[in-house]
Structure formats: C-alpha cells, structure tokens
Structure 1
Amino acid sequence: MSLLIVLASLAFLMFVAYRGYSVILFAPVAALGAVLLTDPSLVAPMFTGLFMDKMVGFLKLYFPVFLLGAVFGKLIEVSGFSKSIVAAAIRLFGPQRSMLSIALVAGLLTYGGVSLFVVVFAVYPFAAEMFRQADIPKRLIPGTLALGGFTFTMDALPGTPQIQNIIPTTFFGTDAWAAPVLGTLGSLFVFAVGMSYMEWRRRVAVRAGEGYGDPATLVNEPVPFAGGRLAHPLVALLPLVVVFASNRLYTALIPRLYGERTEFMPSVMGTAEPVVQEVSKVAAIWAVEGALITGIVAVLALAWKPVTTHFAEGTKSAIGGALLASMNTASEYGFGAVIAALSGFLLVANALGAINDPLIHEAVTVTSLAGITGSASGGMSIALAAMSETFITNANAAGIPMEVLHRVAAMASGGMDSLPHNGAVITLLAVTGLTHRQSYKDIFAITLIKTLAVFVVIGIYYATGWI
C-alpha cells in the first residue's frame, strides 16, 4: 500500500504539472497527501521540518543564481547582442541550422561549467530571435535547449564540471574524466539521435505550414531591439565568454582565498556566536554568481545606452521570472525530500535490488530514483548513499572498473529525471513562456533518448571492454 501511495503522489504531481497548474501550489499538496495516507500524525512535522526546510535551503543556495542569470539574459536581450549573434549565425550556418546552433551554444556553456538554469535564461533570447527569423515554431525551443543543456554535457561528456558528474567521484574514488571512451560515445549517441529527432520535428512543422507563431499571442517574448546599429558579433559574444572564463577563474581562486572554511564575528552588541561557512560546499555557487555579476558588468560596459534605456522595465520582468522559476524548482526539491522519507520509497529502492546484472542494476536504480524525486542529482545521491557499497561489491565480483560505475551512474541520473514534475523542465517552460501541452512531447523524446544512451553504453562496454 505504501508503494502505491508514493506512485500515486508522483502521478498526481506529473498530471497537474502537465495540465499547467502551479507546482508551487501542488507540490506540497502531493507530498503531504502521501504523508497523510501513510501516517497522518506526521503531516505537520513533515511540512515544517522537511518540506519547508528543504525548499528554503534550496532558495538560500540557488536564488541568487536564478536572479543573476535572469538579469544577465535580459540584458543580453535588450542590448541587441542576441540579435547580433543570431544574425551572424544565420549568415554563417543558414536559417535551417538554427536548431543545431542553439543546441551547440547551450552545450558549450554547460560544458564550461555554467549552471543549467543560467543557460536557460542566457540562451533563450538567442533561441527566440533565431527561431523567429528562421520561422521555426517557438514550441520547439524547449526541446532544443534540453538537448543542448540537459543531456550529454551534463553527465556523459568526460570532464564536465556539472554536479551530476561530480557526485559519483565521492563514492567510487574516480575523477570527472572517468571512462572517457564510453562517455564520449554516449555523448555522440545522444547528440546525433536527439538532433535527428528535433530536425525531423522541424521538417514536419514546415510541411504543415507552421511558422514561429503570432507574437501577439505568445508569452515571454524577448523585447525587440530598439537601438541603432547592432554591435559586431564578436563584441556581442564577449559577455558570454566573460561568464565562461570568469566562472573557471573564480572556481580556482575561491578555495585558495578562503580555504576549506571561513568564519567571522557579527558586529552586534553582546556575545554573538561566530558565523562559520564551509567554503567547499558553496565555492561552485559563489563562482557562478561572481561570473554572472562580471558578465552583467561587461554588458553594461559594452552597451550602456540601450541597456540603461530599458533597464528598469527589463529587470522587473527578469526578477519576476527568477522568482517563479526558483520557487517552482524549490517546491519540487521539497516534494522529493518528503517522498524519499516515506516507507514506500524504500520499497522501490529495495525492489530494484532484484536485478542481477551490476551495471543494469545501477542504471535502473539511479534513473528510477531520479525520476521519482524529479532530480538527477537528488535521485543519484539517494541511490549511491544507500547502495554504492552493493554496486561496488557486485562490480568487483564481475571485474568491472569503478570508472564504468561512475559513468553509468552519472548518465543514468540524467535519464528519467526530466519527467513533467522536474524543476529544470518547469523552469525551462516558464522562461520560454510555453506549457507542457505545447512543448513537453519533445522534452520527453529527449528524455527517452538519453535514457536509452545509458544502456547503449553498457552494451558497448560488455561487447568491447572499452573504458
């Protein structure tokens, strides 16, 4: 019965998300409904002590990233930089390769260490402008961005600094470059198949006579550039390069400047306790925030007049978008924490232990828990914390290197995580002004492709022994 409750709660949240209802409202309803049916006495303690605690903890860490990412993306838009880059890309590649251009830009930013959420805010203005000029339906933007930002550069391509590729290192004693051959082949599979699918969707739309859409009826459309002559494309690209480079620079400098931890005494009356900050836990977040601030300063320096003209109104809409996106994701985070604390969730984890093959066992376990929690990093963390010793024991018995366990776990976490209730999916749709009904079909197709890629990689390993 407890298992059915967990599954029903998950199905309910996916249903309301797909129907377009607010996850901010229904994530606690779904989570606490499951608690009510499991143990009514725990509803209030779970809400305050777990759901709200996790939700607020997420906002404490990540809201500045959402806010700065939204402001950066808006300034890129009103400065005319997005239009300049899009015009250059269309001249270079042609309008029919707009999808390829956007997927590659999103992938490069993600592989450079920029947060997935920041990539959505930063690349959307480019995507909207390029799709409009090429007359490609706007509803295909989320699938294209998901392919570029949420797949191979998140967890498959060796060396990616995204958290999904870092978590396995602490369990298997590996590094971010684990299983480079398998990771590269998996990345090529996802990109090739995913790009083929999105291009097929574009051709179907062209044959049906469907264009970008009527701007008067579309939501969250970028403001048309109202300035004079557009900046040179290389100048327009500079803020993105600044964010990429400064993120890498700050990532290296922050641990050196602050060490493992820092503390200070607040300047207040009395004998206050010192504030202690574990720097290692927030260094990556500080680096991204610093990089975005540097990128914003770069946009202001390069396009002061057009930016200041629209700064007040533009930042208002950016802040509103950041609030909505961060609250959606934080509510999902709280939902996942509550579901993971229920006995029915433990039944799911234990039932997966019946799978005999070590790599398939790991892949199915990680991707299932990522799907249930709606989080790649959350599902993988739960799975590895509970079962990594079992995975290691079984792999050693079968002669499977830890590097292969690492790559399979990382890629599996990015498999079924992007179900309708996933925070990144909801953020992507909110930023682009589209709904699940309009665009989730393509995101789900990408989800199936990246899930299949895990088993393709497992098959390659068993057939060749390549690592």
Structure 2
Amino acid sequence: MAVLGIFISLGLLMFMAYKGFSVIFFAPIFALLAALFSGMALLPTYTEIFLPNLASYAKVYFPFFLLGAVFGKAMEESGAAKSIAKAIVEKLGKRNAILSVVLSAAILTYGGVSLFVVAFAVYPFAASIFKEADIPKRLVPATIALGAFSFTMDALPGTPQIQNSIPMKFFNTDLYAAPVFGTLGTIIILAVGIFYLEFRKRKAQAAGEGYGEGHTNEPVLLEETSLPNPFLSALPLISVLVVTLILQKVIFPHWDITSWVTQKPYSMAKDGVVGTMNNWALIIALIFGTILAFVINPIRIKGNVAKAINAGAIGSLLAVMNTSSEVGFGNVIKTLPGFKSIAHALININPHGSPLLSEAVSVNVLAGTTGSASGGMSIVLDMFGKHYLEWAKTSGISPELLHRVAAMASGGMDTLPHNGAVITLLGIAGLTHKQSYKDIFVITLLKAGTCFFLIFMQSILHFV
C-alpha cells in the first residue's frame, strides 16, 4: 500500500500540473495523501517534513532565482535580449531559420538570462522567420527548447543557470566542472538536435505543410529604433561568465576563509566552504551583469528600472515556490517506508562499477517525477550526494564528473508534459501539447540519451 500510495500521489501531481493547476497548492496535498497510505500522521508530516525542506531549498537557491530573474528582466527592458535575437536571426536569414533561433536562445541562456525570459524574447523573431521561410509553426517550441532548455542549461561548462550551480554545494566544484564531458555533450545535443529539426522541417515541407493559418498569439514585429547595439547588448552576458570565471578560478582559490566562517555566528560546515564560495561568485556575477544591463541603454531603461526589478522579483517568487514545493513533496516521499525499496533499486544500479550511472538514473527519474530539473536533482543529491562522493573516491571518479552528470541528467526527463517551462513555452507560442509536444519530447530524449552515452564512453576512455 505504501508504494502504491507513492505512485498514485506522483500520478495525481503530474496530472494536475498537466491540467494547469498550481503545484504550490497541490504538492503538499498529494504528499500528505502518500503519507496517509503509509499510515503517517498528516499535520506533523506537513509542518515537520514538507515545510522545513521547502524552506531549506528556498534558503540556498533563492538568490539565484531572484538575481537571475531580475537580470533577465533588465536584459528585456533595456532591449538587449531583443537586440541579440534580432541580430542573429537577420544575420543568418531564413535559410538557416532553425539554427538562428537555436543560437539566439542558447546565447541568452548561456549568458545567464532565465529560461522564461529567453522564451519571451526569442519567440517573436522565431515565429516571424519561420513564417517567412514557410516552416510549420508547430516546430517553434522544440526549436526554442533545444536552444534554451538543453545544452546551455546544464551541459556547457560555465553556464550560470541554476541546474549547473546546485551540484557545487554537494561536491565542492565550480561551474566549469568536467569541461570535456560537458563540451562533448553540448556538441552532440546541438548537432543531433539541429539534424532532427531540419529533418522534421523537410518532411513537413515535402508533404506540402507550411507555416499554417489560424494561429493564435501571432507576434507583431514593430521597427524599434531604441534597441542597443547587439555587441553592446552582449556585454552583460559576457560579464556574468567572465566575473564568475575570475572569482571561481583565480581569486577565491587563494582566499582562505575557513578559519572564521566555520565559527559563530556563521558556523558554516567546513566541507561546504568551497561550494558556498562558488555560489557567492555567481551571485556577484549576476549583480554585476544586472548593473551593466541597466546602463548600456539609458534612453530605453529610463523609468523602467523599478519595473524590471519588481517584475523580476515577483516572477522569481513564483518560480522558487513552485520548485521548493516540488522539493518538499519529494522529501516527504523519501521519508516514507515504501520509498526505501525504490531508493535501494536506484542506488544499486551498477553497484560494482562507477556511481555515474546510478546518479544519472536517479536524477533523471526524480526530475521527471517532479517536472523540475533543479527540484529532482536537489532531492537526489540531498539523499545520496555524500554516498556518491564516497563511491566516486573509491572508484577513481572525480567530483567534477559527478557534478556534470548530475546537471545533465536533470535536464533530461524534466521536460515531461507537466513541466512548468514547457507549459509556459507552449502558451507563449499559442500552441497545444497535441500540436508541438512530440518534438519537444524528442529533444528531451536526446538530452537524456546523450548523458547516458557519454557515461558509457567515459567508462571506456576515462575523460573528464
């Protein structure tokens, strides 16, 4: 009954999220339903398990949600995001429509702009060039997803997205962990993803299918004279990457603060100092990038600073509460007696080999279950992070590889139909799951498959 309760609760959570209901409201309800099947007390489960884990996740990762959202809104209000997307689309032209949209989304995501802002910024140009090239509009969401929700979210070393920052806390690594593994993953995902989307385009056009008619949410592109120069617009993105790199690789490694931050009133755990300092680096970089985004186009940003900060702050609250609720749900599930058998099966995948396969499967499964890459990964690393680290040491596997595999695996099955970013993307494009999700799901399988392929190759070639 306990295991049955877990699967019923997971299924109901996915169903309600798919139908558009808030997980902030339903995550605790279905967590308590699972607890009821296990004979646990309901109110103590809610107040002593669900809420503390929700709060713990928000405490650690709220700065990234907040600063990432404000940075994204600053890029949007200054016109920098639109300027970059427009320049790439116009430069590559309609013959390379798919590539131009992917690159536009990828550059913005890799520069630290939140995924939701990227979708809003790129969509108008994507729909416009797809219409000009007579490519089916139903391919627009998958094309944006390839650029924003895949390799620049978690595979490419240095990306400041939260999926790449979470493992730092558990493995004392930085954003540039396992550069060879991550770069190979990026190349595979990008190349195969472009090939697939081009194949889908040619197949549709050969069947006589064009952009289509009667679409909703069609963008109206007005000529904007106040957009900043695209090269100037790229400075905030570059600054986030450069400042993070300098702090994590040059300054912080020579800054020994352990002697005082482990004492009161801070009382930081000694083995978490490096990871925390790397978190500080990203916080500083996002603040620096936000300031640059505000000053590169003073004419357009005048009077909109408060709007950008307020919109980003409010948007970050919804994002962090959604994910925190999913983390709270997952942590209730992991305390249930029925979950022990599930956890045992996950942790004992390839028990005599490296921990990479077990970690990848566990993260992928939990990310798909919660519909959240960061939420699923956090739950797994909270449960098994120390175990994986000890296992890696005995197997000769570097913590950097654990970091990169966890990040890439989280960006696999997280984009199931109940994923918030997928639902938002389809809403922006005015399309339905029936019209466009099939191609998003293929990109999802590509992301997950690439991670497992590289784990297999790493076991043979031993690259990092």
Please confirm whether the aligned pair reaches a TM-score higher than 0.5, indicating the same fold: yes
Matched ranges for 1:344-359 at <5 A:
344-356=338-350, 357-358=353-354, 359=356
What letter matches 1:242 in structure 2? P
Counterpart Cα distance in 1 of 2:308 and 2:391: 55
2:238 aligned partner: 244
| Deviation digits for residues 141-172 of structure 1 (CA, Å, limit 9, x no counterpart) | 43233322332233333444555445556666
Cα separation, 1, equivalents of 2:82 and 2:387: 52
Give a deviation string over 1:266-312, Cα, whole Å, max 9, x none.
xxxxxxx99999974862563365245324423551535xx75x999
Contact 1:72 1:122 survives alignment (8 Å): no
> Which residue in 1 is equivalent to 2:200?
201
Instruction: Tell me, yes or no, if structure 1 residue 5 matches structure 2 residue 1.
Output: no
Compared with structure 1, are the counterparts of its residues 212 and 406 closer, same or farther at alpha carbon in structure 2 (3 Å cutoff)? same
2:413 alignment counterpart: 416
Alignment of 1:10-409 (within 5 A): 10-41=10-41, 43-55=42-54, 61-62=62-63, 64-65=66-67, 67-69=69-71, 71-72=73-74, 74-76=76-78, 79=79, 84-112=83-111, 114=112, 118-122=114-118, 124-135=120-131, 136-165=135-164, 168=167, 176-206=175-205, 207-211=207-211, 217-218=216-217, 224-225=221-222, 227=224, 229=225, 231=227, 235-246=229-240, 248-249=242-243, 280=277, 283-284=280-281, 286-287=283-284, 289-291=286-288, 293-298=290-295, 300-303=297-300, 325-356=319-350, 357-358=353-354, 359-388=356-385, 391=388, 404-409=401-406
Q: Distance in 2 between matches of 1:410 and 1:205?
A: 34
Question: C-alpha distance in 1, partners of 2:73/2:170?
Answer: 37
TM superposition shift of 1:190: 1.4
Q: CA deviation at 1:452?
A: 0.9
Q: What is the CA-CA distance between 1:449 and the residue it aligns to?
A: 0.9
> Structure 2: which 5+ residue stretches go unaligned?
none
Measured in 1, the distance between the counterparts of 2:394 and 2:314 equals 53
Q: CA deviation at 1:195?
A: 1.9
Measure the CA separation in 2 of the matches of 1:276 and 1:169: 19
Aligned letter for 1:283?
Answer: W
Q: Go from structure 1 to structure 2 and tell me whether the alpha carbon gap of 1:236 and 1:21 turns closer, same or farther (over 3 Å shift).
A: same
1:383-435 per-position Cα deviation (integer Å, ceiling 9, x unaligned): 34544565466666666565554543443233223333445445545665655
More divergent stretch after superposition (143-152 vs 284-293): 284-293
Using the alignment, how far apart are the partners of 2:192 and 2:82 within structure 1? 29
> Distance in 2 between the 1:406 and 1:323 partners?
26
Q: 1:178·1:406 contact (CA, 8 Å) conserved in 2?
A: yes
Shift in alpha-carbon separation, 1:145–1:64, aligned structure 2, 3 A: same
Q: Provide the C-alpha distance between the structure 1 equivalents of 2:449 and 2:160, rounded to a whole number of angstroms.
A: 23
Q: Residue 46 of structure 2 aligns to which amino acid in structure 1?
A: F
> Take 1:293 and 1:261, find their aligned partners in 2: how far apart are those partners?
32
Deviations 1:323-363 (A, max 9, x none): 65555444334333333333333321112244334343333
Contact 2:70 2:311 in 1 (8 A): no
Instruction: Pick closer, same or farther for the CA change 1:365–1:125 going to 2, 3 Å.
Output: closer
Distance, in Å, in 1 between the alignment partners of 2:290 and 2:392 is 45
Tell me the amino acid that sits aligned with residue 30 of structure 2: A
* C-alpha contact 1:17 1:436 (8 A) present in aligned 2: no
Separation in 1 of the partners of 2:14 and 2:298? 44
Taking structure 1 as the reference length, the TM-score comes to 0.75
Q: Deviations over 1:176-228 (max 9, x none)?
A: 5554433332222211122222233334554453427657x32xx7674475x
Query: Using a 3 Å threshold, how does the CA distance of structure 1 residues 111 and 395 change in structure 2: closer, same or farther?
Result: same
Using the TM superposition, give the Cα deviation of residue 125 of structure 1 relative to its aligned residue in structure 2, in angstroms: 1.8
Q: Residues of 1 paired with 2:83 and 2:393: CA distance? A: 54
* TM-score, scaled relative to structure 2: 0.75
* Aligned residues of 1:120 and 1:431 also touching (Cα < 8 A): no
Give the unaligned 5+ runs of structure 1: 264-272
Contact 1:96 1:134 in 2 (8 A): no
Aligned residues of 1:377 and 1:413 also touching (Cα < 8 A):
yes
Q: What amino acid sits opposite 1:145 in the alignment? A: I
Using the alignment, how far apart are the partners of 2:191 and 2:416 within structure 1?
22
Pair 316,190 (structure 1): closer, same or farther in 2 beyond 3 Å? same
- The answer for the alignment partner of 2:443 in structure 1 is 446
Distance 1:18 1:299, change over 3 A: farther
Moved more, 145-154 or 397-406: 397-406
Q: Which deviates further from its counterpart, 165-174 or 352-361?
A: 165-174
Distance 2:461 2:313 in 1: 51
Distance 1:331 1:386, change over 3 A: closer
Correspondence for 1:268: none
Letter in 1 for 2:77: L
Q: Alignment identity in percent?
A: 41
Tell me the secondary structure at the aligned position of residue 332 of structure 2: helix
Q: What is the number of residues matched between the two proteins? A: 442
1:58/1:436 CA distance change after superposition, 3 Å: farther
Structure 1 window deviating more from structure 2 (66-75 vs 125-134): it is 66-75
- Is the CA contact (8 Å cut-off) linking 2:70 and 2:309 kept in structure 1? no
